[in-house]
Structure 1
Amino acid sequence: MNPKIDTKREAKRIIFGLIGAVIMAVNIKTFVRAGGLYPGGFNGVTLLFQTICDRFFDIAVPFSPISLALNAIPAIISFKAIGKKFTVITSLMIVATSVLTDMVPAIPITQDILLISVFGGLINGVAISIALIGGASTGGTDFIAIYFAEKKNKDVWNYILLANAVVLLVAGYLFGWDKALYSIIFQYASTQMIHLLYQTYKKVTLFVITDEPEAVYQAIYEVTNHSATEFTATGMYSNEKRKMIYSVVSTMEAKVLTQKVMEADPHAFVNVVKTDTLVGRFYQKETY
């Protein structure tokens, strides 16, 4: 890889990671703690542990050491399974989030628990998405989600949402079910925001009816580095022979590619179909 491109890539990771860390820390102090919520993941476990120590043992435990200890094992696994640079940048973000959470002053914006749950969840999803788009993550369960996305080509964010239910059950049993139920709203809003903003691993199938198959294929290859399959088709109404190009690309690539295809053949007919399952060889750009 070009050293300049590699430097820009790492700089992007650091910048996006730090932005995500700042947003995450401010959100924890502004919304999450104000509402007594448990955001799921290792942040939720950390907050739950802090609350248990405070309520039952009258011990004020800082956020940083618990969060760092919980993230240690997933970080080691990620270092070997996902990528060294990705893990290092993510680890820096974990440290930054932990330290900032202890440093940022608590400034509650509202006491309305429903508003806190919805907007806190949306902001949490934005923070995670910014980190992921930059090529880093917020650590913890993100390591798990990215491992399955990168290595198994599976979207497991909703499964992580279900796994977080364990934290909520414990929190609900110890501190009241109202906070646990509001935390579900928080986590759902966060998950949906991630699905909206981060679409790298979502796939779509592209069908293009065209008279310029070579130009369309070239556009697909240049944008995605994917190949395509050409079929000979016959228009039922006109009885004319045309070509159909078939390819599978990511959702984000499809948005750019559709425009490129229409530039290559203004008379092309493009159909983009959601792809839920994909088996076989599929080129995935190296992100981590």
Structure 2
Amino acid sequence: MVYAKTRNEKEWKKHITSLLCVVVASIIMSINIKSFVRAGDLIPGGFTGLSLLTQRSLNVFLHIDVPYSIINITLNALPAFIGFKMIGKKFTSYSVLMIVLNSFLVDLIPITPITYDPLLVSVFGGILNGVAIVIALSGRASSGGTDFIAVYLSNKLRKPSWNFVFGINTVILTVGGFLFGFEATMYSIIFQFVSTQVIERLHRRDHKVTLLIITKEGETIGQELLEYTHHGVTQFEGQGCYLKENKTMLYTVVGADEVKDVVHLIKKLDPKVFINAINSEGVTGRFYQEPIE
């Protein structure tokens, strides 16, 4: 088979990739919290925002200084348990690693504000937050909390659900507004909106692409696609109108994150192949999606 690899090699590569993504995402998210979020007194939404809101409330109203790590890990305990039960053990394990690493990094990294302009803080902080989450998701992990909800719903509904989570985060931000004023809350909503849009644009797992493949190697390519992607392939026989040559058209739908590898595979089998990739608004029926485990 083309590009055949042993199962152990694939699993080891996935494990190393996941660990690297978790570490990089944790560092970016921690720096973002200590630079943009702290500078603008923002509440970034999710359980990260809930942890910061809890920490700030304890400090202001009860004069108790509790480390961020203790609050964040405690609040994420229940979502992590649910993640183990409903999403998957590997995904949740990597997510727990990110939660712990990010929590302690936030306590250790010194506050280093880049700017105090609230709009710049909201926009660029939101971009960094979204990028960190996308990197984590690429490594089959998450930052915990509401990310568990988003991933579960995305897998269940077969479509992106981050805007739904944005609605949940707005409730958290509203509570923060009543406690500490609505100006920072409104900027926090901008932060969360930007972050959500970055995730929607860059996280491609939930987006589908239709491939129309015109080739003379229909049987070979069709079989390879079935083995490589596990997606169904439909074969049509036809004739080219220009050279009157017999051709095969293969119709298949793949994840947007698979397109690059699939096209590379097809071109290896037929350098003269013609491929039309079309973004699919939605897919009804059975569609194989690789487990995030």
Query: Same fold per TM (> 0.5)?
Result: yes
Give the aligned partner of residue 172 of structure 2. 167
Q: Per-residue displacement from partner, 1:126-165 (whole Å, max 9, x unpaired)?
A: 1111111112211111111222233442311111112111
CA contact (8 A) 1:215 1:265 kept: no
Structure 2 residue 135 is the aligned partner of structure 1 residue 127: no
Deviation per residue, 1:152-182 (Å, 9 max, x gap): 4231111111211101211223322221221
The letter for the 1-side match of 2:196 is: T
* Partners of 1:219 and 1:257 within 8 A in 2: no
Taking the aligned partners of 1:193 and 1:153, their CA distance within structure 2 comes to 19
TM-superposition CA deviations, 1:209-254 (whole Å, max 9, x none): 3443224424533542323011245667888764322111011212
How many angstroms apart in 2 are the aligned matches of 1:7 and 1:216?
Answer: 28
1:38-71 deviations in Å (ceiling 9; x for gaps): 1110001111122222333333232122211221
CA RMSD for the aligned pairs? 2.4
Aligned to 2:290: 285
1:31 and 2:23 equivalent?
no
Amino acid paired to 1:28: I
> Counterpart of 1:164 in 2: which secondary structure?
helix
> Structure 1: where are the runs of 5+ without partners?
none
> When the two structures are superposed, what TM-score results if normalisation uses the length of structure 1?
0.89
State the distance in 1 between where 2:177 and 2:158 align: 34
How far apart, CA to CA, are the structure 2 residues paired with 1:272 and 1:183? 38
* 1:52 aligned residue: 57
Residue 70 of structure 2: which of 65, 70, 87 is its match? 65
Q: Does 1:181 align with 2:180?
A: no
Q: What secondary structure does 2:204 align onto?
A: coil
Instruction: Indicate the residue corresponding to 1:224 in structure 2.
Output: 229
What corresponds to 1:208 in structure 2?
213
In structure 2, stretches of 5+ residues that fail to align are 1-5
CA distance in 2, matches of 1:9, 1:262: 25
Q: Is the Cα contact below 8 Å between 1:41 and 1:140 reproduced in 2?
A: yes
CA 172–237 in structure 1, closer or farther in 2 if over 3 Å, else same = farther
Q: CA deviation at 1:107?
A: 0.8
Identity of aligned residues (%): 46
The CA deviation string for residues 44-103 of structure 1, in whole angstroms up to 9 with x for no partner, is 111112222233333323212221122111111111222222222211211111111111
**SS of residue in 2 equivalent to 1:123:** helix
Q: Quickly say closer, same or farther: Cα 1:2–1:223, change in 2 above 3 A.
A: closer
Q: Distance in 2 between matches of 1:70 and 1:215?
A: 52
Verify the 8 A CA contact 2:160 2:200 in the aligned structure 1. no
Tell me how many residue pairs correspond in the alignment: 288
- C-alpha change, 1:70 and 1:276, in structure 2 (3 Å) is farther
- TM-score, normalisation: structure 2: 0.88
1:158 corresponding residue in structure 2: 163
SS of corresponding position for 2:183: helix
Cα distance in structure 1, aligned partners of 2:45 and 2:279: 29
Which of 76, 90, 94 is the matching residue for 2:95? Answer: 90
